[in-house]
Amino acid sequence: MGDKMNENRLRDLREDNDLRQKNLADLLKIHQTTYSDYELGRLNIPVTSLHTLADFYNVSIDYLLCRTNTKTPYPKK
């Protein structure tokens, strides 16, 4: 995830939910600085973390990756 749109989407979701980076870092079981690097585009987010964030925010991974502007995840089969 290295472009500004992706970084802002992560930050915007976090801020819209009144969360701190530390909250998401704890959820992902990583250091706060690592999560910060995800938001800043310095590190790529592992697939397992994308799944966790998508489930947490109830959005699709495609939304997190800016492949769509539709937040709603696909229905589970």
Domain ranges of the chain: 4-64
pLDDT at 73 (0 to 100): 73
The predicted structure's pLDDT at residue 72:
83
CA dihedral 36, 42, 48, 49 (to 10 degrees): 20
Per-residue pLDDT of the chain (77 residues; tens, 9 = 90+): 445 545 589 999 999 999 999 999 999 999 999 999 999 989 999 999 999 999 999 999 999 988 888 888 766 65
Cα separation, 11 vs 39, in Å, equals 6
d(C-alpha 45, C-alpha 4), whole Å = 14
Note the pTM of the prediction, 2 decimals.
0.84
User: 65: exposed, middle or buried (C-beta count within 10 Å: 0-12, 13-18, 19+)?
Assistant: middle
pLDDT of residue 51: 96
Measured CA to CA, the distance from residue 61 to residue 53 in angstroms comes to 8
Provide the 10 A C-beta neighbour count for residue 19.
14
Third-level CATH fold of 4-64: 434 Repressor (Amino-terminal Domain) (1.10.260)
